[in-house]
Structure 1
Amino acid sequence: MAGERGKKKTNILVWIVLGLLILALGGFGATGFGRSVSTVATVGDREITAQQYFDALRNEQARLQEQTGQTIPMQQMALFGIDRQVMERLLAGTALAAEADRIGLSAGDAQVARRIRETPAFGGIDGTFDRDYYARALQNAGLDEARYEQTVREDVAREILQAAVVGGVAVPDAYADRMAAWIAETRDVTLATVTVPDLPGGPTAPSEIDLTAFYDANPELFETPERRTITYAWVTPDMIAAGIEVDEGALRDLYEERATEFRQPARVLAERLAFADMEAAEAARAAIEAGETTFDALVTDRGLTLDDVDQGEVARSDVDDAVADALFALDQPGIAGPVETPLGPALYRVNAILDPTEVPFDDVRDDLAIEFSADAARRRIDAGRDGIDDLLAGGATLEELAGETDMEVATFDWDPTGTAEAVGIAAYQEFREVARAAEEGDFPELASLSDGGLFAVRLDGVTPPTVPPFEEVRGAVETAWQTDTLRRRLTERAEELARDPSADIAVTPEVLTGIARDAVLENTPPALIDRIFEAEPGEVLAVEGDDTRAYVVRLDAINAADLTAGDGARLRDAVVERTRGELVGDLFESYGQAIQGDLGFTVDSQAVQGVQAQLGGAG
């Protein structure tokens, strides 16, 4: 574990370099889709390769994951139409590159060189362009300089073309003023809340006639969902793990295999600052010891941050012998070096010294036994898969499987709407998908569960949605009647007060000022804000709530915003920027589609599906 942490910074740097390269190339074969040269689409005489499409999909998948914090599988991307959006971007970019060629638009060598020098991934230790970093980064990404520089040249040419097409787009002042004014307007209101104690007589008890009439008028409120009677046979690692015999020798072998988790060598928390030569490094150390500067100041003077020089936890095995000798010669935090490193002479600052640690076998024996049993159970289930398949192919019933294998069988009525709490096998997404698609008469087929288990289902019958007899749902009917009646009576009471503010209703009004369109008023429905912004000054409105309250609101004032300074001015600028972005996007999309129409384009749907299947398997 210490070794992994010691390499943490190096790994992060490698992935940053590769990530920036992939983004800079817009999907230029850097992720290894089998190095395929197959074509998924063409625009004119230009091709979009399977590799480009694969990389573009994966980049979009990574962007969505960063944005949402969740892994978005290929199937879900396709469901949302993201795959089509990615293809449309590739088609548009290829069309623009072709158009740039057609009109003789090209980026000069100086522009290409400047773009490459400005790419952060090619910066050396001091952040400036480093020719060796550049060569190594391209080599690690599987690219040669000529191909990469040609790609950069095409990217710059496309950007020049884009700027020429949309450079004159402007947002009319009148539109920006009106839109910003509409967004920034606020309202002052007087609000009164009508609650159940304000109703004459309070809640009322329903008669039997009331309940039956409500039941007859609202049958959908009491309808039970479809029920599917499912018989299933299943086995999971947890179901058989307890019966797995645990071998003590195997547990000790497992402990030794994972020794890095339980034994950590001595480590230091260190930072490294490299210098151009040993003389400079020695001078820096002398200045620190003389109190003329500090390690922090040296880092800042180089234009770096402490994160840039942080090495994390470093064990002796993570570094060269000379570096290790310098670091572990210290008996307390301090400066080590200078010492030669792959980046040149460097000073290290050791911030903490961590003693070696070891977790004894006996302390983790029970945890290892659980893992051993679970793994053995998974392997036992997997080994029995073919036998179970053969039994099903031979006509064995699910009940017979339970008698001849580790599987258990059960029958239950399943609610496919998901309104009931999912427990047992119903908690598995794999089961729900199979059970929802099953049809009466289907032969059971073996399927896998996410934890390594197996299952098969048989649909015994389907009970359609039904409305139970009144007596079976009488309690639910009374509850729903009371809710509906209270909501209606509260709204009527609020309407009475809105018509006649002097009515004998003891409510205390509240004055609210500066209400914005996106405001959220506590304990009020969203419709209240909408009604406030629809009202005219002085107008009094009744607004429905729920079965506990309704509202009476009077609009007292409409407040215009000052768009010339402060938040108002910033809002207007944001409106202009957003609107221009939308106009630019629409114009450029239309331009790209026109070019595609002139050049002609094709999309190989079979090749596209193959790439998507590959990404689905990779994910």
Structure 2
Amino acid sequence: MLSLLRGFARSKVAMIIIGLLVVGLAAYALPNVFSGGQPRGMISAGDRFVVKGALDQRIDNYIQASFTQNQQRISRQDVAQSGVAEQIIQYVAGETAQLAYADEERIKATRFAVSNFVASAPRFRDPITGEFSAETYRSEVLRQSRSIEDFEKELRDSLTTDYVKGAVIAGADVPDALSKAWALGQSEERFISYVNVPNSVADEIEPPTEVELVSFYDERKQMFEKPQRRAVSILSISADDFVDDAKVSEEDIRAFYDFRIKDYSSPETRIVMQLSSTDRSVAQRAADEIGVGGDPKMVAAGIEGLSIRERTVQPDDIANQQYADVLFALPEGEVFGPMQVDDQWVTAKIVDITPGIPQPFESVSEEISQLLAQEAAQDIYEASLENFFDLIGGGFSLEEAGEQIGAPVMHFQPVDRTGRTAQGRQLGAFMARQGAMTIINNLAFEGETSDVLDDPADGGMMVYRLDYIEPANIPEFADIRDSVEAAYMVMKKNEAVETIAAAIIQSARESGDLDAAAAEQKLTVVDPGQALTRRQLPEGISRSVYMTTFNAAQDQFIEANEQDGSRTIVHVKKISTATPENLAIMAPAGKRVLQDPLFSDMENAFYGSVYEDIDLQFNSQQISEYLKAMAGVE
């Protein structure tokens, strides 16, 4: 459950619920929720304060949103143990500071603005008529265990913070100079020719003598240093570890199959008598008459401006998803409407329902068995987590904890700070776990373990242990002679390539002719045959040549260092830009491209100033007790 919750906490839906998409609070250096201060309530700023009930409501909203997305219940304890509760408190604190600022500036959403928002919100509309429904509004708010008054107060606060945000960037515009500079760069075309000096020109390097090698080693000992390496072990626990322990009976599989039979059947088919008109009142009259027993065909014949059509449909045949949802949710004989579908008002009667044809139980039983085993394994995993935390926190070794919970400890070869072994391999176990090397490198002494962490590799929990450290050292010459010789030859080849490249550049600069300079070294110049632009890297042009081209002036000869150690001499023959008329046409596009980062910087600066000026206070003791009680910590 915790892994599911943490996954949801990182989802876009949850970020909207928590409010992390509204303001990146971490960027504004909000005070730590456990710092001092004795505010009114748990959090306060200006005349605003937050009490326990308000935080409870935010937590409950998050839990409901999680259920809506994942169809699995999570508890308040899960929310606290995963760290999401503290994120929500941080958001509420930021929101409180913003509202306190709005109060000081006398910024407040009007009751009309609240009413207008409610009346236009899709979730408060009648699903049949598409119009605002006071009953739907009341039911939706009460379903969230909130009063209308509290809901509208929170909505007013939300609109107020939107006003503040809008005021920050209102009237802001990207300066013409910036948009013109963008347009100039985007329109620029550069025509080049180039010659590559390959490593093969240095194939005839004489091998070094032993004296030269020893001297090379002595002068460059640091380049042969072996870095410190750390050997670690990982104990990871996830639902996958318990799949073999999950017991799924034939009765369980059959019961699931019977309960979810629609999921294992072909789509059901419905015969629908559909009456439609461009006039809502006409469709309403049809619905009224059919609803009291009228025959749809006779009703259609007696009402002007009403068309009728008998349709045999499956869910995928209905283009309008809202219409399809209603159509396939009602029982046989039911009448509904009028409902707006595109430019028509539709009334319909469900005439007949033909269920889909189920797949044979035998053909899907294995699939169901695996699904139920995964669900059972998830339950076993969640039940094992408390024991896992107790074992790790109780001082048991990873091996002892692993034996108790039935999960093996993974041991790894020593790796350097980048995760490479002495053979230069990067271990997949560390690559699959984002931030693994940061955690490993922060372990200070042999035997130290990390905190219990999320395991990004399988969605479970994990602990790192530092087993031992291999100190950095410089091997003796005799032990790495072959490596020293290889490094010596690479150096000499680079020097040879660089010497030829320098000769070509000097000759080209003196003569102004790259072709002749390249021919002196028996090399050939390449002309791409197309202009280079900042919009796209052309095929066949290396990134180093591309970047060098746009760092050079017209008629300049410049050297680019390639990834394989070769050198490329580039001649920028011509630079052309768009006409003033075309630049003026392109400038508005530049404004659009530059607008978002500009507005983001303005908002960051503004909110940073607000959080510095507003006296935001936390009751650290109450918050700590609140989180501990929610997490079930004594």
Aligned to 1:534: 551
Write the distance in 2 (CA, Å) between the matches of 1:154 and 1:377.
40
Contact preservation (8 Å) 1:43, 1:95 = yes
For residues 102-158 of structure 1, the C-alpha deviation after alignment (integer angstroms, 9 at most, x for no partner) is xxx554444433333333333344544333333333233444333333444445555
Give the counterpart of 1:601 among 594, 612, 616.
Answer: 616
Aligned residues: 543
Question: TM-score of the superposition, structure 2-length normalised?
Answer: 0.62
Write the distance in 2 (CA, Å) between the matches of 1:174 and 1:444.
52
What's the offset of the Cα at 1:379? 5.6
1:357 counterpart = 2:372 = no
Write the distance in 2 (CA, Å) between the matches of 1:399 and 1:423.
25
1:576 counterpart = 2:579 = no
Aligned to 1:547: 564
1:98 counterpart = 2:141 = no
C-alpha RMSD of matched pairs (Å): 6.3
Contact preservation (8 Å) 1:495, 1:552 = no
Write the distance in 1 (CA, Å) between the matches of 2:573 and 2:98.
54
Give matches, 1:117-156, under 5 Å.
Answer: 117-125=119-127, 127-156=130-159
For residues 274-303 of structure 1, the C-alpha deviation after alignment (integer angstroms, 9 at most, x for no partner) is 98547158479969xx9978799xxxxxxx
1:463 counterpart = 2:480 = no
What's the offset of the Cα at 1:42? 2.4
Change beyond 3 A, Cα 1:225–1:483: same
Change beyond 3 A, Cα 1:496–1:357: same
Write the distance in 2 (CA, Å) between the matches of 1:211 and 1:411.
39
The letter for the 2-side match of 1:492 is T
Change beyond 3 A, Cα 1:233–1:310: closer
What's the offset of the Cα at 1:45? 1.0
1:189 counterpart = 2:192 = yes
Change beyond 3 A, Cα 1:454–1:355: closer
Give the counterpart of 2:257 among 256, 259, 269.
Answer: 259
Contact preservation (8 Å) 2:196, 2:566 = yes
Contact preservation (8 Å) 1:191, 1:510 = yes
Q: What secondary structure, in the 3-state scheme, does the structure 2 residue paired with 1:515 have?
A: coil
Change beyond 3 A, Cα 1:255–1:528: same
What's the offset of the Cα at 1:511? 3.7
Change beyond 3 A, Cα 1:603–1:477: farther
Aligned to 2:502: 495
Contact preservation (8 Å) 1:438, 1:458 = no
What's the offset of the Cα at 1:407? 8.0
Write the distance in 2 (CA, Å) between the matches of 1:353 and 1:430.
51
Give the counterpart of 2:443 among 421, 437, 455.
Answer: 437
For residues 504-559 of structure 1, the C-alpha deviation after alignment (integer angstroms, 9 at most, x for no partner) is 13213214543223542456554433332232211111211133632111112222
Give matches, 1:291-440, under 5 Å.
Answer: 306-311=320-325, 319-320=330-331, 322=333, 339-340=335-336, 346-347=348-349, 354-360=356-362, 364=365, 368=369, 413-415=413-415, 417=417, 418-419=419-420, 420-422=425-427, 437=443, 439-440=445-446
What's the offset of the Cα at 1:98? 0.9
For residues 145-191 of structure 1, the C-alpha deviation after alignment (integer angstroms, 9 at most, x for no partner) is 33333444445555556666654444443443344324543322222
Aligned to 1:13: none
Q: What secondary structure, in the 3-state scheme, does the structure 1 residue paired with 2:249 have?
A: helix
What's the offset of the Cα at 1:215? 4.5
For residues 577-610 of structure 1, the C-alpha deviation after alignment (integer angstroms, 9 at most, x for no partner) is 4656666555566665666666533345667778
What's the offset of the Cα at 1:348? 6.2
What's the offset of the Cα at 1:253? 3.2
For residues 374-394 of structure 1, the C-alpha deviation after alignment (integer angstroms, 9 at most, x for no partner) is 968996997899799899979
Contact preservation (8 Å) 2:548, 2:559 = no
Write the distance in 1 (CA, Å) between the matches of 2:499 and 2:350.
77
Q: What secondary structure, in the 3-state scheme, does the structure 1 residue paired with 2:570 have?
A: strand
1:559 counterpart = 2:576 = yes
What's the offset of the Cα at 1:60? 13
Change beyond 3 A, Cα 1:498–1:521: farther
**Which runs of no fewer than 5 residues in structure 1 stay unpaired?**
1-15, 28-36, 63-72, 297-303, 324-338
Write the distance in 2 (CA, Å) between the matches of 1:391 and 1:492.
61
The letter for the 2-side match of 1:462 is I
The letter for the 2-side match of 1:94 is L
Q: What secondary structure, in the 3-state scheme, does the structure 2 residue paired with 1:541 have?
A: strand
Write the distance in 2 (CA, Å) between the matches of 1:591 and 1:444.
38
**Which runs of no fewer than 5 residues in structure 2 stay unpaired?**
1-11, 24-38, 68-78, 277-282, 291-295, 312-317, 340-345, 508-513
Write the distance in 1 (CA, Å) between the matches of 2:396 and 2:307.
87
Question: TM-score of the superposition, structure 1-length normalised?
Answer: 0.63
Contact preservation (8 Å) 1:20, 1:121 = no
Write the distance in 2 (CA, Å) between the matches of 1:380 and 1:61.
20
Contact preservation (8 Å) 2:124, 2:136 = yes
The letter for the 1-side match of 2:118 is I
Q: What secondary structure, in the 3-state scheme, does the structure 1 residue paired with 2:142 have?
A: helix
Write the distance in 2 (CA, Å) between the matches of 1:507 and 1:77.
63
The letter for the 2-side match of 1:112 is V
What's the offset of the Cα at 1:441? 6.5
Write the distance in 1 (CA, Å) between the matches of 2:83 and 2:505.
50
Write the distance in 2 (CA, Å) between the matches of 1:74 and 1:473.
54
Write the distance in 2 (CA, Å) between the matches of 1:200 and 1:26.
59
Write the distance in 1 (CA, Å) between the matches of 2:199 and 2:597.
49
The letter for the 1-side match of 2:197 is V
For residues 488-515 of structure 1, the C-alpha deviation after alignment (integer angstroms, 9 at most, x for no partner) is 4334323322222323132132145432
Write the distance in 1 (CA, Å) between the matches of 2:464 and 2:534.
52
Contact preservation (8 Å) 2:226, 2:474 = yes
Change beyond 3 A, Cα 1:222–1:40: farther
Tell which deviates more after alignment, 141-150 or 585-594.
585-594
What's the offset of the Cα at 1:356? 1.5
Write the distance in 2 (CA, Å) between the matches of 1:149 and 1:400.
51
What's the offset of the Cα at 1:464? 1.1
Contact preservation (8 Å) 1:95, 1:592 = no
Write the distance in 2 (CA, Å) between the matches of 1:158 and 1:235.
43
Contact preservation (8 Å) 2:332, 2:351 = no
Write the distance in 1 (CA, Å) between the matches of 2:55 and 2:97.
16
Write the distance in 1 (CA, Å) between the matches of 2:310 and 2:573.
63
Tell which deviates more after alignment, 138-147 or 260-269.
260-269
Change beyond 3 A, Cα 1:212–1:437: same
The letter for the 1-side match of 2:445 is E
1:279 counterpart = 2:286 = yes
Write the distance in 2 (CA, Å) between the matches of 1:434 and 1:208.
41
Contact preservation (8 Å) 1:196, 1:486 = yes
The letter for the 2-side match of 1:173 is D
For residues 12-56 of structure 1, the C-alpha deviation after alignment (integer angstroms, 9 at most, x for no partner) is xxxx999999989979xxxxxxxxx99554221112554688699
The letter for the 2-side match of 1:554 is H
Write the distance in 2 (CA, Å) between the matches of 1:295 and 1:22.
47
What's the offset of the Cα at 1:480? 4.5
Change beyond 3 A, Cα 1:76–1:528: farther
